Structures are given as C-alpha cells and as structure tokens.
Amino acid sequence: MRVLELFSGIGGMHFALSESNVTFEIVTAIDINTTANMVYEYNFPKTKVLNKNIQGLTVSFINNLNVDTILMSPPCQPFTRNGLKKDIEDSRSCAFLHLLDMLPQLNIQNILLENVKGFEVSNMRHLLVQQLEKSQFTYQEFILSPHQFGIPNTRHRYYCLAKKLPAQFSFQPGQIDETTSLFKNINSLSPISQFLENDIDLVPYLLSEKILKKYAIILDICFSYSTRSCCFTKAYGRYIEGTGSIFTDKSNKEVDQVYQKIKLIDSDCETYVEELKKLNLRYFAPIEVAHLMSFPNNFSFPNISNKQKYMLLGNSINVKVVSELIKLLNTYL
C-alpha cells in the first residue's frame, strides 16, 4: 500500500499499519493540528508530515503523490451524541465534504474511514455512500469497539472499508456489521493491569479533594483485575462525568467499605474526603490511556502538557481495531 494519511493526528493509522504486517509506505501524512503533528513527527521522524488545511488539497496534488490508499479519521464533533449534531452544516465537516467532492477524480484503490458512532445515521454518511457508489467502489461498514478484540476499553466507532471495482473483498459486503465474525484470532479480554505503568509518578493523577467531594458517587472505578473501562474523551483529566474511567489499586471490597461509610457522612465533612483518600483514586496517566487505545510500547510523547496529551488521545483511534480492519482491507477474492 502507498498511503496518504489524512487527518493524521498523532499517528494512530501509521501504528495500525505497522501492527497489521501489511507492506506499506506512508507517502504523506496531513493534519492541521500543529501539536498533533509534533507528536507524529516525534514517533515517525522519517515520515513526511504536512501542516495543511485539507480543504486546500487538489485532485492533481493527490494524484501526483501516486498513492493507492487513503486512511482517514475526519473530525467527529459534528456527529457526536453530546455535540450540536450540525452534521454537514458544521464548519468542521468542510474538509471531508471537499474530499468527497474530489473522490470520483482520484486514482485511489482503497479507503479506510473512522468516525464516531452516530456517523452511520448522519447526512454525511449518506453523501459518503453516494460518492463511493458514484466512484465505483464496493464498501463495507462496521460499528466496532476495542473490547470485542480483547482490549478492556469500550470505544464504539464507525468504520468504512472501500475498494475500487473490479477489486473485491474476500467476503460478501452487506449491512453495517457490529460483530467480529469477519476477523481472525480474536483475543479474550485482558485485565487493566496489563496496561498500567509501574515507573511513573502517580501523585499528579490523584483526584483532588474538590473532585472527591463533588463527584465521588458518580465515578466509574476500575481495578487492576477489571476487564472494562469507559471511553476516554478529549476532556479527560479536566472533567469527570462521561469522560472516562478512574483507577484504584485497592480491591472492590475496600472500595465498597469506604463507600458504605461515606453514605453516612456529609460531603462537606473532612472525614468524607479523608475516607475517600484511602482509595488512591486517580486518573489513568496519558501513556496508560494510550496503551488502552492499543498504541505500542514504543509510542511516546514529546514535551507537551498532560491536557494536550489527553485531548490528542481523545481524538485518536484504537490501533488494534484499525489494524484488524487494514488486514481485512488488504484481502481479496
């Protein structure tokens, strides 16, 4: 595969290609986010990364790259359940609309698209399918989550694989598939402990007294033996509700005992917080979130803030899921 990586972020698609064992070359990676590009270049210094608005790309520019595959993860904010759901009317959809408009003229043989769950019922998805059919592509759509592949994290995402006819998949395309029936070697769920770091200072990640007072009763708490965690969003580390799970090194029994005690204590009482502090409740560190998103051990960040790390990860992909999809994209009848 000669690959053009669009909306390339921190390099999730690149890592997925590496894990898939497919022979590939990333000809160019393009993203408008300078911090994301910095992380990408830090991990892949030999890859050409362009800080460029994708709306400025032309048919001739893409065709002159001599690529046969586009991997992309366009902005998901227009389609998220917590967003305004402005869909194609959202200004952040303009770049993807521009790509779809160019698609019939591009010399592309393979496409892999990732987006948030909810994209499948959008007007944008309707336009995507319309343009794929107009451009003579066969395609298969999926809704998949890492926990289906043995990763203890829930992150349902929409995926679309497309091949230029007359090429065909090794399976018969059909309706949106939410199963793993087309994939091989699915692992059983691993415990959270396999994704934790043992040699980092965890003190900065402990929940503050303010957070404990206000949000203790709604925390989604994971243990070392847990085989699940909630989806991590770009607001993780700044907000609590709906942004991802919290970790404790204590047992379920110890947590239950503390929570039974605080039921009888007013949250403004000093004892309330002191009891909760015994549990060492903390955020997952950015590198641990990266591990849960299947980034490999050799992935690392340059010198940027934790806030920036969480934001970039929240906008990224699960490497394991995409690597399995790339394998599927690379099989033929």
At residue 84, the pLDDT reads: 57
pLDDT band of 81, cuts 50, 70, 90: low
pLDDT band of 93, cuts 50, 70, 90: confident
Give the position of tokens 């909306």: 7
Mean pLDDT along residues 16-45: 97
CATH of 2-184+317-329, one of 3.30.70.20, 3.40.50.150, 2.40.30.20, 3.90.1150.10: 3.40.50.150
Domain ranges in the chain are 2-184+317-329, 201-284
Which of 76, 160, 222, 231 is flagged as catalytic?
Answer: 76
Q: Which burial class, exposed, middle or buried, applies to 273 when counting CB atoms under 10 A from its CB (0-12, 13-18, 19+)?
A: buried
Q: What is the rounded average pLDDT for all residues in the chain?
A: 94
pLDDT tens for each residue of 42-66: 999 999 999 999 999 999 999 999 9
pLDDT over 70 (residue 193)? yes
Q: What percent of the chain has pLDDT over 70?
A: 96
Cα separation, 293 vs 152, in Å, equals 9
pLDDT tens for each residue of 139-188: 999 999 999 999 999 999 999 999 999 999 999 999 999 999 999 989 89
Q: What is the CATH number of domain 201-284?
A: 3.90.120.10
Strand partners, 144: 157
3-class DSSP assignment, residue 246: strand
**Is there a contact between 118 and 79 (Cβ–Cβ < 8 Å)?**
yes
3-class DSSP assignment, residue 70: strand
At residue 43, the pLDDT reads: 98
- Give exposure, 155-175, as e/b (b: 16+ Cβ within 10 Å): bebbbbbbbbeeeebeeeeee
Cα separation, 132 vs 119, in Å, equals 16
> Is 230 a catalytic site residue?
no
The reply to whether 201-284 shares the fold of 2-184+317-329 is no
pLDDT band of 232, cuts 50, 70, 90: very high
Helix (H) or strand (E) holding 212: helix 209-215
DSSP 19-31: HHT---EEEEEEE
pLDDT tens for each residue of 260-297: 999 999 988 899 999 999 999 999 999 999 999 999 99
pLDDT band of 206, cuts 50, 70, 90: very high
Helix (H) or strand (E) holding 62: helix 59-64
